[in-house]
Structure 1
Amino acid sequence: MTEITPDLSKVSRFPLAADDPDADDNLDGALLDARKFIGFYDWGKNIKAEYLGFCAEGIVYIFLFEVSPGRPDVPQWIWVIVGDVPPAYIPGDDAETPYEALDGYIGAMEDWVEAARQGKSVAKLIPVNVPANPANAEMLASRLKFLDEKVLPLLQE
């Protein structure tokens, strides 16, 4: 596996300075959520470094973690997305920037939405912490549309 190193010029290393414009009142809670999420996986317990890729306060937070992989199939870099959306991780091998991480997240979640709308199995898709039914698919679809139209353009260069 070819290891991709994310573009660290696009992220801020933790801890952030008190006057950092990326800091917000919910950031500490979001970081804790991201740590808990990644810590659920056996490979996510040994975090070496933490970075903030982007935050839209109360909506979405994109974190980048450098981990000590315990297995050869685990990349050294993991993006974690949390907020008012289902939490998920994107392997660093699949995204070099916060934009690519969020774009990949949206695409993977859109696959889940389509399967849930059609009553198909979501077993091999990105895990979402709600039942795969049309009502949940529509709620997630509206959030994804907002991320795609309003948030993703903020990360484009």
Structure 2
Amino acid sequence: MKKSIEDASPDLSSVKPLPPHNSRGSVEFKDARREARSYLEAHNWVAAIKGEYLGYRLDGVIYIFLFEFLPAEPDVPSWVWVIVGDVPPAYISCHHAKTPYVALDGYIGAMEEWVEAAREGKSVADIIPVNVPATPAYAEMLGSRLKFLDEKILPLVRG
């Protein structure tokens, strides 16, 4: 069954609204927030960011942001998770993830598909994009980060 755009709304009780962009915070947090915004704005289906929320942060390791945006194309939901940090940036649809926990779990699963393909020398063309070459060496580095996220961070995000 195809989900409608209305079904793409996240659980806002699981996030904290962020104050204006130039607000207080650690240098790492400000850099991560800027990276997440830039990453999202680089997509042609985003016209403008309307709201920003924080789902989870562990400075220098992982940041899970939720963005509400004005779609630049029809049939594009107006909410998306963006994950940045010591991992490749990616967005996760709110169709599939209503909370930061589910977003991070989906991110780990999608990135693990990339790691497996890169380790085996298979094509990554139809897998989540990663901003490094699909080599066994990069697969090992990303794989170790994903294992850490899965074992140590995911349980914390669950709360």
Common fold: TM-score over 0.5: yes
2-structure distance, mates of 1:72, 1:44: 11
With 38-47 and 55-64 compared, the bigger mean Cα shift is at 38-47
2-structure distance, mates of 1:82, 1:138: 19
The TM-score normalised by the length of structure 1 is 0.92
Task: Tell me the equivalent position of 1:4.
Answer: 8
2-structure distance, mates of 1:87, 1:32: 12
Once the two structures are superposed, residues 27-47 of structure 1 have per-residue CA deviations (whole angstroms, 9 ceiling, x without a partner) of 111010001101110122411
Which ranges of structure 1 fall in alignment gaps of 5 or more residues? none
Once the two structures are superposed, residues 22-63 of structure 1 have per-residue CA deviations (whole angstroms, 9 ceiling, x without a partner) of x54411110100011011101224111000110011000000
Match of 1:119 among 118, 121, 125: 121
Q: CA RMSD in A?
A: 1.5
Match of 1:31 among 30, 33, 45: 33
Shift of 1:73: 3.6
Once the two structures are superposed, residues 92-115 of structure 1 have per-residue CA deviations (whole angstroms, 9 ceiling, x without a partner) of 111000000000000000000000
Shift of 1:146: 0.3
The answer on 1:83 being equivalent to 2:89 is no
Q: After the TM superposition, which segments of 4 or more aligned residues of structure 1 sit over 4 Å from their partners?
A: none
The TM-score normalised by the length of structure 2 is 0.91
Secondary structure of the residue that 1:102 maps to in structure 2? Answer: helix
Task: Tell me the equivalent position of 2:153.
Answer: 151
Shift of 1:4: 2.5
The answer to whether the 8 A contact 1:119-1:133 is kept is yes
Secondary structure of the residue that 2:104 maps to in structure 1? Answer: helix
Task: Tell me the equivalent position of 1:105.
Answer: 107
Aligned length: 153
1-structure distance, mates of 2:76, 2:28: 29
